[in-house]
Amino acid sequence: MAGIAAACGCATASLPLPVKRVIPSLIGPNDTGQREPGFEEGCTGGNEVEGRPLTDAELIDAARRGDVAAYEELVRRYEELAFRTAYLVCGDADEARDAAQEGFLRAFDALGRFHAGAEPRPWLLRIVANAARNRRRAASDEELVDLARHRLMAELAAGTTSVECKSGYGLSTDEEIRSLRLIARAANDLPLRVTRTFLGAHAVPREAASAIDYARTVAEEMVPAIAADGLAEFCDVFCDEGFFTLDDAEAVLSAARGAGLRVRMHADQLARTGATELAVRLGAVSVDHLEQLDEAGVAALAPSDTVATLLPAPALVMRDHLPPARALLDSGVTVALASDANAGTFGGWGQMPLVIGLGATVLGMTVDEALTAATVGGAASLGLSLERGRLAPGLAADLVAWDAEHEGAFALRLGAVRAERVWVAGREVRLES
């Protein structure tokens, strides 16, 4: 027997349109010349030390000191994941193989700039994704729109009726504007609500002199152009270790607020930087990720209206800490659950039922709490609480009939619950098989 749920569904995408954040409709409620021990010139056993495999960080450290075998082992570990990452961006297997190879070569050349103590995995995948992004820039507008529409419809078929799509892979004024315009074209006449977010401060392009200089370009050139043409509702910044500092983020988001855009932040995903406190001070609608959030961060969010948007799937893929969902809920923070489908860490378009299940299992939430986070919380994360996210007079009648007898199925049938029927604004929509 199908279960009926209030539908919201919200995702974020970046051109080449990884559809990111999602709120689906459910029930309501992130040279010394010395060698590491175990590494000998030409030794095939150099991927172990003291009887255990070397960590990625140890392999990077050895490779930086000239041990090619160490880097070859790192490539072996990540060649499949690098290909999948590139494929999510390119959409073509041959292009993805070339981009992955190019990414590994670029990473090898950049070993000297790798920050000791940082995690090699996101660093490496980011380089691969950038190589793929550069190849994808050559794609025609029609190809990108078609790819984006396909992914948006995958979200709808999985019970998501509102989607947040981000830019952030162009990293130049022209390409960021292009991405946001193509998102609008892709969403045109589709039966779901799309919210556009400008994420020009997603990474520092290779051609930029520094992160500070690039952040200034984002704040002084990109933000005014995008706001003037009404190309986005939100502005986002990846404020984290190795990306943009608190000062960079404040400069960009203050410019965005001054231009009439609402703001949100990637915060405290890779390191505890204090980005959450900055987001609260700036009145951000949402802070996303929060894998490294501590008690002080939870306390900062508790009295605020800022939503904590949690992304369990990429945190698991990255083998990182999980965000403190229980502490946030117990402190009265509004929590949202989202997919973060993107080109580098979780290519799950149409996977919000899985995310609900992860919330109700690995994040320690009850099923009701997870469902609330995916509907009421998701709507709040996008400033849509007065429009959707719950069943109430005057709100959009977005509904989903699930192939489940009760809500517990989202946890018990992890990732296997399917939408049988979907209504948007009271009208049933045809689902693509």
Using a pLDDT cut of 90, give the percent of the chain over it.
57
Report residue 28's pLDDT band, with 50, 70 and 90 as the boundaries: very low
Which of the pair, 166 or 24, is modelled with greater confidence? 166
CB 7 within 8 A of CB 159: yes
Residue 242 CA to residue 237 CA, distance in Å, equals 13
In CATH, the number for domain 3-29+138-424 is 3.20.20.140
Please report which helix (H) or strand (E) contains residue 374, including its range: helix 367-381
Q: What is the pLDDT of residue 138?
A: 63
Span 172-187, average pLDDT: 95
Span 115-126, average pLDDT: 79
H helices of 28-165, where? 56-64, 68-90, 93-109, 120-136, 141-157
Q: What is the pLDDT of residue 426?
A: 92
Domains in the chain: boundaries: 3-29+138-424, 51-136
Residues contacting residue 169 through CB under 8 Å, at least 6 positions apart: 14, 15, 16, 89, 129, 133, 136, 175, 179, 202, 343
- Identity of the amino acid at 137: R
pLDDT in tens, 69-106: 888 898 888 888 888 777 766 666 777 888 888 888 88
Determine the angle formed by the axes of helices 141-157 and 173-187, rounding to 10 degrees: 50
| pLDDT at residue 427 tops 70 | yes
Residue 200 CA to residue 16 CA, distance in Å, equals 14
Q: Which CATH number fits domain 51-136: 1.10.4160.10, 3.90.700.10, 3.40.50.300, 1.10.1740.10?
A: 1.10.1740.10
Which sign, positive or negative, has the C-alpha torsion 396, 402, 404, 407?
negative
Span 123-129, average pLDDT: 82
What is the DSSP annotation of 58-72? HHHHHHHTT-HHHHH
- The angle at the Cα of 200, spanning 204 to 225, to the nearest 5 degrees, equals 130
Residue 177 C-alpha from the chain's centroid: 20
Report residue 50's pLDDT band, with 50, 70 and 90 as the boundaries: low
Residue 113 CA to residue 332 CA, distance in Å, equals 42
pLDDT in tens, 216-261: 999 999 999 999 999 999 999 999 988 899 999 999 999 999 999 9
Residue 1 CA to residue 153 CA, distance in Å, equals 25
Task: Return the bridge partners of 263, or none.
Answer: 235
**Residue 224, CA distances (Å) to 180, 249, 259 in order:** 14, 16, 6
SS3 label, residue 8: coil
pLDDT in tens, 340-364: 988 767 878 889 999 999 999 999 9
SS3 label, residue 279: helix
Residue 220 half-sphere exposure toward CB, CA atoms < 13 A:
7
SS3 label, residue 12: strand
SS3 label, residue 76: helix
